[in-house]
Amino acid sequence: MKKILALLTAIFISTASADTVIRQIPSRIFQPGTYQQTSDRVPVNSTGLRITLTREAWPEGSVGRIEIWFSIDDGLTFPFMRFANLAGGTAFKKDGSVDTTSSIEMEWPQVATGPTSRQVLRGSDVKAVFIVTQALRTGITIETLDP
Amino acid sequence: MPIAFVRSTGRISGNNVDSVGGNFGALPAAGNAITVETSAWNGSNADMPAGSVTDNQSNTYSRAVQSPLQSGGVCSIFYDESIGSPSGTHTVTVDPTGTGNYLEFSAQEWSSFASSALDKTNGNNAASDSPTSGSTGTLSQADELVIGVVGTYNGHSDVGIDPPSGYTNLSLFQNEGSTVGHSADYMIVSATTAQNISWGTVFDNLVPWGACVATFKAAGGGGGGDTLMGQACL
C-alpha cells in the first residue's frame, strides 16, 4: 500500500508542475565574473526556458545580470537574447511577503517563414550566461517551460 | 500607405529584477518605427517615465501614454517613429523606477509611420473584472495603427485576459502571480471610428488593472472621413 501511495504521490507531483528542471546548481558564493552554461539541444516539447536565482542576502546596488541566448543554426550564432539586470536589497511580492527569488523567461522565438506565417523553432541550441559584478550567494535553477 | 507590421521581439519578462531587455531576431530597417508596450508592478509603485525605454542603437523612445497607477502597477506604450540605421544586434531595454520590478513587454517594428505619427491616446484603470482602454475619440485620419495594452496586478495564475476582438495579439501572459498579467494587441484601421478596447471578463471583479491605447497615423493617410466624403461630393 505504501508503495502505491508513493507512486501516486510521485505521479501527482510530476503532473502538478508543468515545467521541468533540467539543471540545478546548489547555493554557493559566486565571485565577480562570467559563468556560462550551454545546452546542445533543448527539449523539443518545451515552449521556453526559465532561469531562477535565489536571493540570499544580496548586497545593495547592482549585483549582476542573467542572459538567455537562443540559436537557430546549431550554435553558430545566437540571434535571440533575453536579459535581466539584477539589484540587491529586499523586494516584496504583491501579497506583501519578501520575494526570495529572481527569474527571467525566454519563450522560444517565432521565426518568419513567409509573408504571413511564423513557426516556433524548438530543439535548438541555447546558452545561459550569469554575469556577477558583486560577490553574492545564490542557487540557480534552469527549467524548460512545458505546454 | 497603411502601416504594416514587420517583426516583434516576442514576449520579454522579468520577475523581481531591476530591468529587462531583449533583441529583435533580425535588424529593423532604418526609418521604420518601433513601439514598446509594457506592464510593470513593484512594491513601491511602478512608474515608466521618459527614458525608461532605451536601446543600444541611440534611438530615443517617447512615451505615448501610461495608465494611471493602480495598486502599484502601470502599463505604457513607448515609440520611436523613425529609427536610425541599426547595426549589430538591436536590443531594447525596459527599466521602470525601482529595483524589485515584475514586468512584461514586447517591441515591434512597423513600416509607414507618418512624421508626428502619434494621434490619440487614453489611459484607464480600476479594480474590476472588465478592463477597457477607454475611448480614443475620433481619429484624425482614416489609416492608423491602434495599439492597446492591459496589465493586471494581482496573484492569479490564470487571470483570464481575453485578447480583444478584431485585434491581433502581440504578447499575452496570464500568470500575474509570476510577473503581471499582460496583453498587447493591435489593429490597423481604415476609418476614423473611435476605439475603445475591451479585454473581456477577467478572473473576478477585484482584479486591479491598468489599460491604455495609442493610435499612430500612417504616412500619406489623408484626411478623416468627412474630408473623404466631401471629396466624393465634388
List CB contacts (< 8 A) between B27 and chain A.
none
B10/A109 Cβ within 8 A: yes
In which band, very low, low, confident or very high, does the pLDDT at B125 lie, cut at 50, 70 and 90? very high
Nearest to B216 by CA among B188, B191, B197: B188
Point out the least confidently predicted range of A41-50, B162-171, B189-198: A41-50
In which band, very low, low, confident or very high, does the pLDDT at A44 lie, cut at 50, 70 and 90? low
Point out the least confidently predicted range of A30-44, B128-142, B207-221: A30-44
**For residue B225, how many C-alpha atoms fall within 13 Å in the half-sphere facing its CB?**
8
In which band, very low, low, confident or very high, does the pLDDT at A1 lie, cut at 50, 70 and 90? very low
B19/A102 Cβ within 8 A: no
B69's grid cell: 497607477
B119-147 mean pLDDT:
98
DSSP B22: E
Q: Considering all CA atoms of chain B, what is the largest pairwise distance in Å, rounded to the nearest integer?
A: 61
A85/B100 Cβ within 8 A: no
- Nearest residue of chain A to residue B177 (CA atoms): A94
A104/B17 Cβ within 8 A: yes
Minimum distance, in Å, between the CA of residue A70 and any CA atom of chain B: 10
What is the reported pLDDT for B133?
98
Give per-residue pLDDT as tens, A73-130: 777 888 889 999 999 999 899 999 999 999 999 888 766 555 555 555 555 688 899 9
In which band, very low, low, confident or very high, does the pLDDT at A43 lie, cut at 50, 70 and 90? low
Alpha carbon distance B24, B22 (integer Å)? 7
What is the reported pLDDT for A112?
56
Give per-residue pLDDT as tens, B213-227: 999 999 987 554 444
What is the reported pLDDT for B123?
98
The pTM (predicted TM-score) of the whole model is 0.90
What is the reported pLDDT for A114?
55
What is the reported pLDDT for B33?
98
B146-166 mean pLDDT:
97
**Is pLDDT above 80 for B134?**
yes
List CB contacts (< 8 A) between B100 and chain A.
87, 89-92, 99
In which band, very low, low, confident or very high, does the pLDDT at B71 lie, cut at 50, 70 and 90? very high
Torsion sign across C-alpha atoms B106, B204, B207, A92: negative
Buried (b) or exposed (e) across B41-50, using 16+ Cβ within 10 A?
A: bbbeebebee
Alpha carbon distance A50, A106 (integer Å)? 6
What is the reported pLDDT for B168?
96
> Of B105 and A115, which is predicted with more confidence?
B105
DSSP B120: E
